[in-house]
Amino acid sequence: MRTSTLTLMTVALSATLAGCATPSMQQQVSQQEHMLSAAGFNTRLADTPRKMSQLQQLPPYKIIVRNRNGQPFYAYADPQYCQCLLVGNERAYQNYRRLAIEQNIANEQYIAAQMNEETAMDWSVWGPVW
């Protein structure tokens, strides 16, 4: 599990760095869906008109919690890109939360490293800049 977490974080960070400073909506959604899948969420395609209609009634790109037979389940609707619903149980959701925290820590460490690198640069060799 630890190896898949590191792999997921590397892929997500690489995808973010490969794009522009602000990833496109599609990139953000794709990264979110990869993280949800890695956490144990199952992808259900909206492959019928009825499923697509129901998918479009859900708030897009947000994790919502619902109950079925007294048990919570979590759902994430993507009506535009994959046209799918990602569904997970409590364990999958907790795994997702852990992965999201690890991803945030990795992002913060990357930003801190960039700032340290910029601070270490000796800009005086370029002479006055204004």
Q: What is the mean pLDDT of residues 111-128?
A: 74
Q: What is the mean pLDDT of residues 72-98?
A: 97
Confidence band for 93, pLDDT divided at 50, 70 and 90:
very high
Confidence band for 108, pLDDT divided at 50, 70 and 90:
confident
Q: 113-124 in b/e burial notation, b at 16+ Cβ within 10 A?
A: eeeeeeeeeeee
The region that residue 89 occupies, defined by phi over 0 for left and psi between -120 and 50 for alpha, beta otherwise, is beta
Name the burial class of residue 89, with classes exposed (0-12), middle (13-18) and buried (19+) by CB atoms within 10 angstroms of its CB: middle
According to the 3-state scheme, what is the secondary structure of 36-55? HHHHCCEEEECCCHHHHHHH
Model pTM score:
0.66
Predicted confidence (pLDDT) at residue 1 exceeds the cutoff of 70 = no
Tokens of residue 69, six digits: 């037979």
What are the residue ranges spanned by the domains of the chain? 2-106
| Average pLDDT over all residues of the chain | 83
Q: Return the amino acid letter for 55.
A: L
The pLDDT assigned to 124 comes to 74
Predicted confidence (pLDDT) at residue 77 exceeds the cutoff of 90 = yes
The pLDDT assigned to 6 comes to 45
Sign of the alpha-carbon dihedral angle for 106, 22, 16, 90: positive
Predicted confidence (pLDDT) at residue 53 exceeds the cutoff of 50 = yes
